A and B are shown apart, each in its own frame.
Chain A
Amino acid sequence: MAEMTYLEAISDGLRTEMRRDESVFCLGEDIGAFGGAFKVTDGFAEEFGAERVLDTPLAENAIVGAATGAAIEGMRPVCEMQFADFIACGFDQLVNVAAKLHYRQGQSVPLVVRLPSGGGFSGGPFHSQNPEAWFLQAPGLKVVAPATAADAKGLLASAIRDPNPVCFLEHKGLYRHVRGEVPDGEYTVPIGEARVAREGGELTVIAYGSSVPLALAAAEALGEDIEVLDLRTLCPLDTEAILASARKTGKVLIAHEATRACGVGAEVAALIAAEAFEDLDAPIRRLTAPDVPIPFSPPLEAAVLPQLDDMKEACHELLAC
Chain B
Amino acid sequence: MTLSDASAVMGAAVQLDPALLTREDRAELLRYMTMMRAAEERALSLYKQGKVPGSFYDGRGQEAISVGAAFALSPRDRLCILHRDLGAHFVRGVTPDRYLANYMGRAGGVTGGKDGNLHFGDRSLGCVGMVSMLPDMALVANGMALAMKMRGEDRVALTFFGEGSTANGQWHEAMNFAGVQRLPVVFVLENNRFAYSTPNELEFAADPVERAEGYGLPGVEVDGNDVEAVFAAVHAAVERARGGGGPTLVECQTMRMHGHGAHDDMGYVPPRMLAEWEARDPIGSYAARLVEDLGFAAEEVERIEEEVRAYVAECAERALASPMPEPASALEGVFADRWEPLGDGLAPWSGWAESTDERRAA
Contact = CB atoms under 8 A, between A and B. Distances in A.
B265 interface: no
Given A25-B150, A72-B128, A106 B333 contact: yes
A65 B136 contact: yes
A225 to B, nearest CB: 38
Contacts of A139: 334
Interface stretch (B201-209, B296-304, B339-347): B339-347
Contacts, number: 148
B174 interface: yes
B140 interface: yes
Given A92-B133, A142-B335, A164-B335, A105 B111 contact: yes
Contacts of A74: 147, 339, 341
B129 interface: yes
Contacts of B239: none
Interface string A126-168: 0000000000000110100000000000000000000110000
Interface in A162-204: 163-164
Contacts of A92: 133, 136, 170
A56 B123 contact: no
B336 A105 contact: no
A241 interface: no
Q: In the complex, which range does the number of interface residues on chain B fall in?
A: 35 or more
B176 A163 contact: no
B141 A108 contact: no
Given A56-B177, A75-B150, A105-B110, A69 B121 contact: no
Given A69-B128, A71-B143, A73-B147, 11 more contacts: A56-B177, A57-B180, A61-B173, A65-B140, A69-B145, A70-B144, A70-B150, A72-B128, A72-B342, A75-B146, A96-B132
26 contacts: A61-B136, A61-B170, A62-B170, A62-B173, A65-B170, A65-B174, A66-B143, A68-B139, A69-B139, A69-B157, A72-B140, A75-B146, A75-B150, A93-B140, A96-B132, A97-B140, A100-B131, A102-B336, A105-B121, A105-B129, A106-B336, A107-B342, A108-B340, A110-B336, A140-B334, A142-B335
A163 B136 contact: no
Q: In the complex, which range does the number of interface residues on chain A fall in?
A: 35 or more
A217 interface: no
Nearest to A142: B335
A126 to B, nearest CB: 18
Contacts of B115: 104-105
B103 to A, nearest CB: 15
Contacts of A314: none
Nearest to B128: A72
B146 A70 contact: yes
Interface in A247-267: none
Contacts of A110: 336, 339
A267 to B, nearest CB: 17
A300 B266 CA distance: 55
Interface in B107-129: 110-111, 114-115, 119-123, 128-129
A2 B212 CA distance: 52
B144 A72 contact: yes
A103 B78 contact: no
A110 to B, nearest CB: 5
A66 B148 CA distance: 12
Given A70-B144, A96-B131, A104-B114, A65 B176 contact: no
Contacts of B170: 61-62, 65, 92-93
Given A69-B140, A110-B339, A104 B119 contact: yes
Among A57, A71, A72, chain B packs the most CB atoms within 10 A around the CB of A72
A134 to B, nearest CB: 17
A171 to B, nearest CB: 25
A61 B134 CA distance: 12
A23 to B, nearest CB: 9
Given A59-B177, A104-B129, A105-B115, A69 B338 contact: no
A142 B334 CA distance: 10
Contacts of B144: 69-70, 72-73
B337 interface: yes
Given A57-B180, A61-B139, A70 B147 contact: yes
B142 interface: yes
Nearest to B174: A62
Interface in B134-168: 136-148, 150, 157
B335 A104 contact: no
A66 B123 contact: no
B148 A73 contact: yes
Contacts of A75: 146-147, 150
A59 B174 CA distance: 9
A61 B333 CA distance: 25
A58 to B, nearest CB: 9
Contacts of A77: 143
Nearest to A139: B334
Among B120, B132, B177, B336, chain A packs the most CB atoms within 10 A around the CB of B336
A173 B336 CA distance: 33
A101 interface: yes
A106 B339 CA distance: 10
Among A62, A96, A97, A100, chain B packs the most CB atoms within 10 A around the CB of A62
B134 to A, nearest CB: 11
Contact of A66 (B142, B340, B341): B142
B180 to A, nearest CB: 6
Contact of A73 (B111, B114, B342): B342
Nearest to A27: B146
Interface in A1-38: 25
A57 B177 contact: yes
Given A66-B177, A105-B111, A72 B139 contact: no
A67 interface: yes
A51 interface: yes
Contacts of A52: 150
Contacts of B143: 65-73, 77
A52 B338 CA distance: 23
A101 B128 contact: yes
Interface string A73-88: 1110100000000000
Contacts of A102: 333-336
